[in-house]
Chain A
Amino acid sequence: MNEYGVAVFPSSSVAMRAEALAQRAGYAVRLIPTPRDVSSDCGVVLRFDWAKRSGIESLLREAKVDVLDVRPLRQSHRTGGLPSA
């Protein structure tokens, strides 16, 4: 099974920008509801393949996207896959 990571943003508008940038760069990502243990009130986080972490992080850094946190996703249930890029 894939290991996922999530990127956490200050607002959904920022999350939308991150999603658009990542998709345009060819990454398979998905916005999911913010897990309870992630401290953010923004309704969504960006889930990605943890193996792609450094690429996604530098992409967002270069675009000056305000990222609050990047961390592995602890999953207690099956939560669906990533759409293909």
Chain B
Amino acid sequence: MIYVDYAATSWPKPPCVAEAMTDYLEHTGGNPGRSGHRLSIAAARVIYEVREEVASLFGIADPLRVVFTPNVTEALNLAINGLLDPQDRVVTTAMEHNSVMRPLRALEKAGVEVLVVPCHPDGQVDLEAMRATVTHGTKLVVVNHASNVVGTIQPVADIATIAHEAGALLLLDAAQTAGALPIDQHALGVDLLAFTGHKALHGPTGTGGLVLGDDFDPSLLRPLVRGGTGSRSEFEEQPDNLPDKYESGTPNGVGIAGLGAAIKWLRDTGIHTIRAQEIELSRALIEGLSAIPGLRLYGPPRAEDRTAVISVTLEGWRVSEVGLALDDEYGILSRVGLHCSPAAHRTLGTFPEGTVRLSLGPANTRSDVEAVIAAMKELAESR
């Protein structure tokens, strides 16, 4: 079996992830921060340590500005719904995932002005159009750091400059890049960073978060969910302190423990090392696939300009049939269709059929890449 669906979720996870989760369930498991006994304290300590890991991963000074959520979708919903009011203007790109577009379209009905900046055919945002659209009075700019369809990496620092010059905040959807690329939130100028734990961070599903930049003013951001925090119970109003303001309900302690182990594994392995290997494998895959007649590649031609996500279509084939043939006949696990991103596929010219997406990760090898190329070649020739 060859797993090339890392953009959906990473697999396999490093063994330390399951070990940390088992350890949490068997030995740690009090309700974090609710009680004062040793198991409750131990659970809260585990979660706090993972906040430190996440903060240091993204270059944030205060670990309490790491807000855990079940996934990036909820982190994006928290940021988008918590910041925007009717009459506000928000700018985004034509490469976004539905976890950004759907909350924005819902707010649009409530009177928020939503502007979508076009992107070049390879997925790169049109910076001139961005500059013209993000006018003074824009409250928020939301950008997908790297496309989940074709891997295109956006020039985040340039977009941040444009946003900040107009007095707007920048929210980054780092679903595809957290763990895959080195990210320094301050150097990039990102006010709010939304991440998910189960993709390139190699953690378990059910983990993610919103990281508030050290200069971001939390009074601007309403919570999405309110309820018990284990703190300030004498008040019936939601507390203001971080992260409790945004973390009601018993957290996913076991998942967060696994996420912490995954980030330590990433640190030990080295994001740069993984990135270098992914660039090499992507380059080989792009090169091999480009030589196949009838196969069309999307996205930036250079592996350095994208994460390890390659999208293709095959002349004469429906993408769903390619996906099935790859799975059944070759044991190659890919993802086909629209990848929750109709806007991106419109930009690429692949709407509504979608693409076959091949996304690589640290467990992939050169021989995996060769097997994928050989399989695609056979399919192309069998038409």
Q: How far is the CA of A19 from the CA of B36 in the complex (A)?
A: 14
Q: How far is the CA of A33 from the CA of B35 in the complex (A)?
A: 7
> Size class of A's contact patch?
20 to 34
Interchain CB contact (< 8 A) of B241 among A14, A16, A43: A14
Q: How far is the CA of A16 from the CA of B49 in the complex (A)?
A: 8
Stretch among B9-17, B108-116, B225-233, B360-368 lining the A interface: B225-233
Q: How far is the CA of A13 from the CA of B239 in the complex (A)?
A: 13
Are B241 and A64 touching (Cβ within 8 A)? no
What residues on A are CB-neighbors of B41 within 8 Å?
A: 12, 31, 44
The B interface, classified by DSSP as helix, strand, loop or mixed, is loop
The 3 closest A-B pairs by CB, nearest first: A33-B36, A12-B33, A16-B48
B residues 25-46 touching A (CB-CB < 8 Å): 32-37, 40-41, 44-45
In the complex, A28 has a CB within 8 A of chain B: no
A-B contact pairs, 22 of them (CB 8 A): A10-B241, A10-B244, A11-B230, A11-B231, A12-B32, A12-B231, A13-B64, A13-B242, A14-B64, A14-B241, A15-B44, A16-B45, A17-B63, A31-B36, A41-B233, A41-B234, A43-B35, A43-B36, A43-B40, A44-B36, A44-B44, A64-B62
> Size class of B's contact patch?
20 to 34
Question: Most chain-B CB neighbours within 10 Å: which of A12, A14, A42?
Answer: A12
Extra contacts, 12 of them, besides A11-B33, A20-B49, A42-B231 (Cβ < 8 A), are A10-B231, A10-B232, A10-B239, A10-B244, A11-B232, A13-B244, A15-B44, A17-B48, A17-B63, A19-B45, A33-B35, A42-B230
What residues on A are CB-neighbors of B63 within 8 Å?
A: 17
Are A41 and B45 touching (Cβ within 8 A)? no
Are A17 and B64 touching (Cβ within 8 A)? yes
Q: How far is the CA of A17 from the CA of B66 in the complex (A)?
A: 12
Return the chain A residue nearest B44 by Cβ. Answer: A12
What residues on A are CB-neighbors of B244 within 8 Å?
A: 10-11, 13
Q: How far is the CA of A34 from the CA of B64 in the complex (A)?
A: 21
Are B51 and A13 touching (Cβ within 8 A)? yes
What residues on B are CB-neighbors of A66 within 8 Å?
A: 241
Are B231 and A41 touching (Cβ within 8 A)? yes
In the complex, A32 has a CB within 8 A of chain B: yes
A residues 39-84 touching B (CB-CB < 8 Å): 41-44, 64, 66
B residues 238-253 touching A (CB-CB < 8 Å): 239, 241-244
What residues on B are CB-neighbors of A19 within 8 Å?
A: 45
Interchain CB contact (< 8 A) of B48 among A20, A34, A64: A20
Give the interface of B toward A (CB within 8 A): 32-37, 40-41, 44-45, 47-49, 51-52, 62-64, 229-234, 239, 241-244
Q: How far is the CA of A64 from the CA of B213 in the complex (A)?
A: 15
Interface string of A16-29 (1 = CB under 8 A from B): 11011000000000
Are B44 and A16 touching (Cβ within 8 A)? yes
Interchain CB contact (< 8 A) of A32 among B36, B230, B241: B36
Give A80 Cβ to nearest chain B Cβ, in Å.
11
What residues on B are CB-neighbors of A43 within 8 Å?
A: 33-36, 40, 230
Known: A10-B232, A20-B48, A42-B230. A34 touches B241 (CB 8 A): no
Return the chain A residue nearest B38 by Cβ. Answer: A31
Question: Most chain-B CB neighbours within 10 Å: which of A13, A31, A41?
Answer: A13
What residues on A are CB-neighbors of B232 within 8 Å?
A: 10-11, 41-42
What residues on A are CB-neighbors of B230 within 8 Å?
A: 11-12, 41-43
Are A13 and B36 touching (Cβ within 8 A)? no
Q: How far is the CA of A39 from the CA of B48 in the complex (A)?
A: 23
Return the chain A residue nearest B62 by Cβ. Answer: A64
Q: How far is the CA of A14 from the CA of B40 in the complex (A)?
A: 15
Q: How far is the CA of A44 from the CA of B47 in the complex (A)?
A: 15
What residues on A are CB-neighbors of B36 within 8 Å?
A: 31-34, 43-44
Return the chain A residue nearest B244 by Cβ. Answer: A11
Return the chain B residue nearest A32 by Cβ. Answer: B36
